[in-house]
Amino acid sequence: MDRTRCRVLLTVLTPLMATLSGTSAMLAADPADSSAAKPAQVPAANAAALPNENWPLFRGGTLAQGISATDLPVQPEVIWKRSFENESFEGTPIIHDGVIYIGGLDGPVYALDLATGKTLWTFNTEAGVKAAPAYRDGKIYVGDLNGRFHCLDAATGKSLWGYETDAEIDSGANFFGDRVLFGSQDATLYCLEAANGKEVWKYQISDQIRCFPTIVEDRCFVAGCDGELHVIGLEKGESLGTVPIESPTGCTPAVVGNIAYFGTEGETFLAVDWKKLEVLWKYRHKRKRFAYRASAAVAKHAVIVGNQGKMVIALDPASGKELWVFNTKTGIEASPVITASVEHPAGVAYTGTTRGQLLGISVKDGKQVWEYEAGGGFVGSPAVASKRLVIGNTDGTVYCFGAN
């Protein structure tokens, strides 16, 4: 999410899970080519459904798990980079069918060729974009800083329809059937018909919505700046219950099974059972107390998240026990993405710091396996698909990494 804090309504921040179901998918090397270096195992319970060739949403998929099944080298090299004059990127790109879509603070939404970085088209929002675009059925959906939600033709960038909200739109859209959902700083979750932008329903809370609306079955999860996790029925937009989380947040809940994982401005990371509407566990670092503004990635045996305390932390999904802490030079706002590899079958978490350092960290033991000094700052998160890692920085440069 972006650097601005949620408006704090709470003046005082008050300082089991079942085994993850399913089995890991095996991405075996071609038996005729023993030298083929492909990931041996996808480190997630639902590996078959993970993003691989495409990364169409903010966290890769509707569950916001931040896991990719693509074949990315442990130490990816720069394939290309593109710098845009007077531009700054604080949003997360998406990838679909060999095209990158990313919004810039100067106004445009860019479509870039994944292979070369060449600009295919631009669409000027006249306001700037922090939200991640979303792809569905040949269309791009994205909100801007003026609160207008756009539907664009993915091939040409032509505007198909627009919808006005009353405040800035920060995070990406998600989909339920033939509907598109997104939140706004006007404290409202909107559900529109994806084909024409017609309003289906609105769900309002008492403060801003900055997170990506995570969707499981017929439910949506919104962690709000009002200090509540909201569970919302998607057919009618009615409340199915709330869970007090003690502090505001703009972080997106990552969902595995019955559990939603996310951090807050109150220096706490939580696991919430969304069926029972109860907090299973809370984690606070024993010495350093800093806000969470990055969303978590959830692998089979670890939840990985960065915070403002210059740390990337791994927690046990079932208990919240601290597994390891990796200390960075600066704060983390870019949400990590996890991929697997032959060398690191438990996964490698890739993220960026607010001072322009890109990192690859072993999920198993928290050891650094990759580093790239880019400069600027990384606020938006990586998109990882089609054997590429793509990310933009505040200096207005889009980077594409892979096997060179």
* Tokens 């990719």 -> residue: 68
- Say if residues 91 and 108 touch (Cβ distance below 8 Å): no
Q: Report the alpha-carbon distance of residue 41 to residue 86 in Å, rounded.
A: 42
pLDDT band per the 50, 70, 90 thresholds, residue 44: low
pLDDT band per the 50, 70, 90 thresholds, residue 366: very high
pTM of the predicted model, to two decimals?
0.90
Q: What is the pLDDT of the chain when averaged over all its residues?
A: 89
Is the pLDDT reported for residue 401 higher than 60? yes
- Say if residues 351 and 323 touch (Cβ distance below 8 Å): no
Residue-level pLDDT at 43: 57
Mean pLDDT of 360-380: 96
Mean pLDDT of 330-338: 96
Question: What contacts 167, CB < 8 A, 6 or more positions away?
Answer: 147, 184, 185, 186, 187, 208
Burial class of residue 116 in the structure, from the number of CB atoms within 10 Å of its CB (0-12 exposed, 13-18 middle, 19+ buried):
exposed
Residue-level pLDDT at 288: 75
Residue-level pLDDT at 345: 87
125: left (phi over 0), alpha (psi -120 to 50) or beta: alpha
Going 250 to 114 to 81 to 67, the CA torsion angle's sign is positive
Alpha helices in 223-327 (DSSP H): none
Bridge partners of residue 304, in order along the sequence: 297, 314
Domains and CATH numbers, the chain: 47-205+293-402 (2.130.10.10)
Question: What contacts 68, CB < 8 A, 6 or more positions away?
Answer: 50, 51, 52, 55, 60, 337, 338, 339, 384, 385
The lowest-confidence range among 42-46, 73-77, 300-304, 333-337 is 42-46
pLDDT band per the 50, 70, 90 thresholds, residue 274: very high
Strands (E), 40-107: 77-83, 94-96, 99-103
| One-letter amino acid of 101 | Y
Question: What contacts 109, CB < 8 A, 6 or more positions away?
Answer: 101, 102, 103, 122, 123, 125, 129, 133, 140, 142, 150, 152, 157
Residue-level pLDDT at 225: 96
Residue-level pLDDT at 49: 64
Residue-level pLDDT at 363: 96
Total length of the chain? 404
Condensed to tens digits (0 to 9), the pLDDT of residues 133-157 reads 999 999 999 999 999 999 999 999 9
| One-letter amino acid of 188 | T
- Residue 204 to residues 42, 193, 232, 245: CA-CA distances in angstroms? 38, 18, 11, 18
Condensed to tens digits (0 to 9), the pLDDT of residues 336-360 reads 999 987 788 889 999 999 999 999 9
- Percent of the chain clearing pLDDT 90 (strictly above): 83
Q: Count of CB atoms within 10 A of residue 237's CB? A: 17
* Tokens 């792809």 -> residue: 135
- Say if residues 399 and 382 touch (Cβ distance below 8 Å): no
Residue-level pLDDT at 11: 33
Tokens of 367: 């050891």
Strands (E), 119-172: 119-124, 134-136, 139-143, 148-153, 159-164
- Percent of the chain clearing pLDDT 70 (strictly above): 88
Condensed to tens digits (0 to 9), the pLDDT of residues 284-295 reads 998 877 999 999
Tokens of 163: 């919808």
- Residue 183 to residues 20, 35, 129, 207, 342: CA-CA distances in angstroms? 29, 47, 14, 11, 39
Burial class of residue 166 in the structure, from the number of CB atoms within 10 Å of its CB (0-12 exposed, 13-18 middle, 19+ buried):
exposed
Residue-level pLDDT at 3: 39
